[in-house]
Amino acid sequence: MEKWTIRPSPAPFDPHRHVLLIRGEMKDISLILKKFGALCGRPTPVKEPEGYNFSLHLHGMTERGMDRLTAALDEMLPRQEGTEAWAAAVLEAASPAPPAEEAPELIPLTPEPSAFAPLPEPEPAPAIATPEPEPAVSAPPALWGLAEKLDERLNLDSLTVGPFNRFAHAAATSVVGSPGTMYNPLFLHGPPGVGKSHMLHAIGLALVGGFSEEEIVLTSGPRLAHAASFALAEGRSGEIEAFLKNAKALLVDDVHLLAVTEENRAFLAKVFDLFFSGSLQVVMTSLYPPRGLAALEEA
């Protein structure tokens, strides 16, 4: 790793969010995720004016968490200018996002083109003597963004099968044919880019043939942890439980990024027990093999 920096990046759902920018290799990212996966979002390749080539969002950072992270990064490479101010920034719970001109320009290496053409500007409406409507208030995401949609493009037919994933593919088809029996939970692991998320979506799409789409819950480690934390903070955890009681399968992408805290630990255990005790299918993907998640399993 050649250099690194941490900057505040608050969001409405996480005022303590920061972004870690590094210039390095994938092995550096893997080392960070292995130690701090519960705090990190998915690493994203970026082009950035100061030469950083990877970014990771850091969720729910505390002063203690910042100290541990910067100490670990110091061991990999001595800290850069401005580090002393990072821990103090974490304590500003509701600090506004930095102005656009000061924010780092993060450009994805492979941006996807928009699927929609821009709409023409509407013609101005004639003036009518009516009271102005009250401004609309945007509703929060359903269940704090717990579930996401299955991608119909990522199906079993479009999945490349070879010696590298033949056993995983056979296990996936077994799950589809008889969910909740032989491979439960099914744990798929491997380095980035080998098709773990593709296989997870493919299993979900195939299960829709026997269940309804509403009965297949697709989420991720960060989504599940964030939803649990916000529901508990608002005293509305029963809404998530009621939603999951109607589910027949739980699909969790990037389970190594599941942020288990003292506050959400018991609730997350209850969620997984809901599926395991009812012999309902659970499928998880991870960057690391099961032995690398001993701390998560204990939690």
Residue 116 lies in a domain: no
The model's pTM = 0.60
**What's the pLDDT score for residue 67?**
86
Residues 174 and 235 in one domain: yes
- Amino acid 173 reads T
Q: How confident is the model at residue 112 (pLDDT cuts 50, 70, 90)?
A: very low
Q: How confident is the model at residue 298 (pLDDT cuts 50, 70, 90)?
A: low
Residues 84 and 216 in one domain: no
Residues 242 and 288 in one domain: yes
Residues 101 and 155 in one domain: no
Mean pLDDT confidence for 130-150: 64
Residue 166 lies in a domain: yes
CB contact at 8 A, 91 and 61: no
Residues 164 and 294 in one domain: yes
Helices (H), 56-163: 63-76, 86-90
Domain hosting 104: range is 3-108
Domain holding 187: CATH number?
3.40.50.300
For 283, what's the count of Cα atoms within 13 Å in the CB-facing half-sphere? 31
Give the Cα separation of 34 and 27 in Å (integer).
Answer: 10
Q: Which residue has the higher pLDDT, 153 or 33?
A: 153
Domain final residue, candidates 92, 108, 124:
108
Give the Cα separation of 148 and 223 in Å (integer).
Answer: 9
Residue 42 lies in a domain: yes
Q: What is the DSSP-derived secondary structure letter of residue 142?
A: G
Give tens-digit pLDDT for 247-276. Answer: 999 999 999 888 888 888 899 999 999 998
Q: How confident is the model at residue 135 (pLDDT cuts 50, 70, 90)?
A: very low
Residues 88 and 195 in one domain: no
Give tens-digit pLDDT for 33-50. Answer: 777 766 777 788 888 778
Residues 84 and 147 in one domain: no
**What's the pLDDT score for residue 235?**
93
Encoded tokens for 183: 């491979």
CB contact at 8 A, 279 and 179: no
Looking at the predicted structure, is the pLDDT value of residue 236 above 50?
yes
Residue 207 lies in a domain: yes
Residues 156 and 259 in one domain: yes
Residues 53 and 158 in one domain: no
Residue 259 lies in a domain: yes
Residue 113 lies in a domain: no
Q: Which helix (H) or strand (E) holds 27?
A: helix 26-36
Mean pLDDT confidence for 92-116: 43
Domain final residue, candidates 108, 130, 158:
108
Residues 84 and 151 in one domain: no
Residue 134 lies in a domain: no
Residues 274 and 150 in one domain: yes
Q: How confident is the model at residue 111 (pLDDT cuts 50, 70, 90)?
A: very low
Q: How confident is the model at residue 130 (pLDDT cuts 50, 70, 90)?
A: very low
Could you give the number of structural domains in the chain?
Answer: 2
Strands in the chain per DSSP E: 3-8, 18-23, 44-47, 54-58, 107-108, 186-189, 216-220, 249-253, 281-286
Give the Cα separation of 150 and 201 in Å (integer).
Answer: 6
